[in-house]
Structure 1
């Protein structure tokens, strides 16, 4: 059921006018005491008629002021809607704001993380479609990382930092002299090809040197970005190298997305003479579960055997032969959870202190060649299982007691 936005006081905090077409991404019926109820039509735009109330022309300024004042901030700050959400025409809120000439809305979206990098598909569309010179200047002055840019999705931010900083990495790929510090568990969970190679040809190696002339280090870095974050940014001159790597690593979804994006960009460049797209960006839809489901595979493998019998909340059973390469064992009431420091330290200050800082005395000696073990007290295996899935996949079915335990950690 769609939610209804009630604009009970449409004149309380006026902002610059917002064209109704800018709301095509929200798909929310709008209720106004002056105008009644309106819903987007099949094109995503709010119609001028019919409204269940007075004539639209009498109150259009009031409605546009109310929507500008309330709806963008409500969607981003209260409903936590992704600022770069796309509609079925592959258009973002920033593109519509530029197209309709709403400078202050453009500045608000940019300040809250809207992406508009130069020479990218989205950046060129926004720049070409901008209605005024002040908007074009704002787009040209745009910097993706600014003090005012807020990162609302901490899980995606964590995965990006995991790749960039290489904390607790356990293997280094050297591609034509360029090193990449990565984690076996992430590569294995996201790619069957890497899972096989890391357990056979590259098993036990801390450094893997790749010298094949067809492996481009720029494309390899973009491929790692996709494996860690589900997103990929690649220069158009390296697209063919990236497609070759995607095929080699059996990443068929990425290969399909690259081909579709190349076709779309080509059509755009042909239809808009003078534009120059130099970077392709692949990003999953906001509700795409593939990345989190792959990471949840690591939680599946971390479960002790006595807890794997009931798969009521597991997205996939742990595949035969998959080695997640754990580097820490948590003992909870006699159960051993084989986990990864990179995830627990990166996702929780409590576990970072426990594993990296002055609580190292809690570490127990290795047994039979396994990873070092730490015993956790005051928590049951069932509750720790909820914590486990949240740490790896940012999702778990919480019950009240598990919520309290998770908050403490």
Structure 2
């Protein structure tokens, strides 16, 4: 968690108007370093460096200590606003009108922390790309969407959500693939997909492999099962975030027990006891019907979270995949192995000589390319003569390596990349653009950045051009920063001088020279931005040119570029005159 990358947050106007003692704006406990401390000690000490290291290392931000307290509580108690902010941005849950929420608000020892909690409005951070995409798919089903809007306790939130889906009544803008299973509780539907439920729950997996195999509908008695509890649980399976009414929490505990979601059941049971205690202590100004409990999937052990669950499904699918030259015996053997461990695959994708068993709901949720292609084709079996023993819908992808497709579906199923070589990055950028899987670019950039710290000037110029072409702003900004800070070193590199001949010339508009460059990812940093204009601005920043001398300095920089281009043109001409092979 880099403090320089923090987003701005807004203060509540009512709190700004309060007259407070200046001492109330200061931390209540002095900052100190805890180089070997755990998450709780770092939060209590306000050591944001240690806290950031622990969070980046995968520490569970909502874990509890032996006193049943979370790290956010200690940060609030000590008045460390930076530590509290870092925890909130990392996913610390401070649900309104709940045990933890009230505890953090009451424990905040200065106004800055209370302002921070108010600014975040006790709401969880945005979902990651994978749970966000699957949540859109879940709410894209008409019945699920209607139920969610009805359950929104906040009228404004419900109206906003309704407006977001109002362009269509069938959910086609969000989910082109229909659900393959529908549950009815007291006549109310919950639409879902078998592979998601099977990945998250042993109960559903066993049922779909046995008595529910092939069924499109399953009806439950409302006397044995609460609609709200089952809806909240299935919504959690897709989004990795639990949002449940407090009144439904007891029913949800029973539902989790039946579905064998043991870790989730333990957490909800504990929170239910906290809620009862909070009710006993509260003024009862708000009844339970207005209260909702929110839980992040990050509060669960790694193996119980959405990425790990889908990774297991992907592993099973790849184990059943093979090549087009498989013999009939091999195919029957693969089917026999699969029968005891159903991967619920409903799509076969051929890449070169290999085919991959995949799941339409995952591919369509993550990629608009696959969503459009799958939604417009029914009973399609492209090249089916090669795989006549398989009855799955069949797609064939061209101009794509097997390794790149494997990495792509690994990211689509898990939101992560492991063991990717830097040499694969260029093809992965192309894959992300071709399949409209834009978050993949950021994941590839994160893997590539450490490698760029060791490359030559020539290779860095190569990556700058690629990053600009594919719109990978993180890599583009890094390359420009390195070149600007080491400009004379790059000016001596022939590859950099040759690169200048391929780029549009810098703008002569002086207004571009006296304004700060756009922040990475901002609207101002568009596809029309000029690389040399941006390089000039970064060079001016690196040189710390004073504002009244920026025009003069920018002019000198442009003249330096012109001189380098003249040298580059001469070098290109000389190279053209040389005999081939010399």
- Give TM class, smaller chain: 0.5 to 0.7
Which of 302, 310, 321 pairs up with 2:317? 302
Query: Residues 213, 323 of structure 1: CA spacing in aligned structure 2 closer, same or farther, 3 A cutoff?
Result: same
Distance 2:399 2:31 in 1: 52
Within a 5 Å distance, the mapping from 1:193-204 to structure 2 comes to 193-204=203-214
Distance 1:93 1:192 in 2: 32
**What's the counterpart of residue 191 of structure 2?**
181
**What's the counterpart of residue 564 of structure 2?**
none
- Answer with 1 or 2: which has the greater Rg: 2
Query: Residues 352, 100 of structure 1: CA spacing in aligned structure 2 closer, same or farther, 3 A cutoff?
Result: same
Query: Residues 42, 303 of structure 1: CA spacing in aligned structure 2 closer, same or farther, 3 A cutoff?
Result: closer
Which of 272, 288, 294 pairs up with 2:302? 288
Query: Residues 90, 348 of structure 1: CA spacing in aligned structure 2 closer, same or farther, 3 A cutoff?
Result: farther
Query: Residues 92, 21 of structure 1: CA spacing in aligned structure 2 closer, same or farther, 3 A cutoff?
Result: farther
**What's the counterpart of residue 407 of structure 1?**
429
**What's the counterpart of residue 392 of structure 1?**
413
CA RMSD for the aligned pairs? Answer: 4.6
Within a 5 Å distance, the mapping from 1:32-51 to structure 2 comes to 40=37, 44=41
Q: Check conservation: 1:327, 1:371, Cα contact below 8 A.
A: yes
Of structures 1 and 2, the one with the larger relative CO (CA 8 A, separation 6+) is: 1
SS in structure 2 of the partner of residue 204 of structure 1: coil
Normalising by structure 2, report the TM-score: 0.49
Which of 323, 335, 338 pairs up with 2:354? 335
**What's the counterpart of residue 270 of structure 2?**
260
| Shift of residue 218, structure 1, vs aligned partner | 0.5
**What's the counterpart of residue 123 of structure 1?**
101
**What's the counterpart of residue 160 of structure 1?**
135
Deviation larger for 204-213 or 180-189: 204-213
Deviation larger for 219-228 or 203-212: 203-212
Query: Residues 173, 144 of structure 1: CA spacing in aligned structure 2 closer, same or farther, 3 A cutoff?
Result: farther
Query: Residues 46, 255 of structure 1: CA spacing in aligned structure 2 closer, same or farther, 3 A cutoff?
Result: closer
| Shift of residue 194, structure 1, vs aligned partner | 0.9
Distance 2:406 2:347 in 1: 15
1:379 has 2:400 as partner: yes
**What's the counterpart of residue 218 of structure 1?**
228
**What's the counterpart of residue 382 of structure 2?**
364
Deviation larger for 323-332 or 212-221: 323-332
Distance 1:84 1:47 in 2: 14
Q: Check conservation: 1:332, 1:379, Cα contact below 8 A.
A: yes
Query: Residues 157, 71 of structure 1: CA spacing in aligned structure 2 closer, same or farther, 3 A cutoff?
Result: farther
Q: Check conservation: 1:171, 1:182, Cα contact below 8 A.
A: yes
Distance 2:204 2:31 in 1: 43
Query: Residues 28, 364 of structure 1: CA spacing in aligned structure 2 closer, same or farther, 3 A cutoff?
Result: farther
Gaps of 5+ in 1: 8-15, 30-38, 49-63, 309-317
How many correspondences in the alignment?
352
SS in structure 1 of the partner of residue 302 of structure 2: coil
List per-residue Cα deviations over 1:126-176 (Å, max 9, x = no partner).
23223367865775675467xxx9637323323333333343332222222
Q: Check conservation: 2:43, 2:71, Cα contact below 8 A.
A: no
**Greater helix share, 1 or 2?**
2
List per-residue Cα deviations over 1:312-368 (Å, max 9, x = no partner).
xxxxxx8753333333210112322121122122223443454457x99x9727656
| Shift of residue 289, structure 1, vs aligned partner | 3.4
SS in structure 1 of the partner of residue 343 of structure 2: coil
| Shift of residue 243, structure 1, vs aligned partner | 1.8
SS in structure 2 of the partner of residue 289 of structure 1: helix
Query: Residues 261, 46 of structure 1: CA spacing in aligned structure 2 closer, same or farther, 3 A cutoff?
Result: closer
**What's the counterpart of residue 364 of structure 2?**
345
**What's the counterpart of residue 342 of structure 2?**
323
**Greater strand share, 1 or 2?**
1
> Post-superposition, which runs of at least 4 consecutive aligned residues in structure 1 deviate over 6 A?
80-83, 102-113
